[in-house]
Amino acid sequence: MFFYELHEGDDEVYSDVLVASESEWEPQEFFELVQRVRHDVQHGYEQDTLIEAIALVLERDYEFIYVNDDRLAAAVNVSTQDDDNFLADLDGDDDDDEEAEVFKDEFRTIVADFDPDLGRPN
């Protein structure tokens, strides 16, 4: 099994996805494939990110496996603190578990540049 990663974003905020293939792709060959798929989907995809849309096409048309949260069999929170180690609830059906509640909602990051010297907008 060979694993490939797709990144989207910049140095401060980015997301990534993994795809796997039973066939080995040369890096340049994989890059060219991703560019073709990107060109086809970039103006009309329904997923949250472009890389998710690309990963779905790679899975559908090129026999890759899109390694996303739907494929997880287990998720374990790991920490140096004993109380912070637990098996996360993947189904979201254990509302009584406080740790599971932390992972119930998705999080998004927004980065904004702030220049205090510019003053307030009028």
Q: What is the pLDDT of residues 9-51, one digit of tens each?
A: 876 677 899 999 999 999 999 999 999 999 999 898 899 899 9
Could you give all domains of the chain from N- to C-terminal order, each with its CATH number? 2-70 (3.30.70.2710)
- Is pLDDT above 50 for 65? yes
Looking at 70-74, 77-81, 87-91, 110-114, which range is the least confident one?
Answer: 110-114
E strands, 11-85, where? 14-21, 65-67, 76-77
- What pLDDT score does 116 carry? 73
d(CA 93, CA 84): 20
- pTM of the entire predicted model: 0.67
Looking at 42-46, 51-55, 91-95, which range is the least confident one?
Answer: 91-95
Looking at 17-21, 67-71, 92-96, 114-118, which range is the least confident one?
Answer: 92-96
* Residue 100 pLDDT class (50, 70, 90 cuts): very low
- Is pLDDT above 80 for 110? no
Crossing angle of the two packed helices 27-41 and 50-62, in degrees rounded to 10? 110
Mean pLDDT of the chain: 84
99 by Cβ neighbours in 10 Å (0-12 / 13-18 / 19+) ranks as: middle
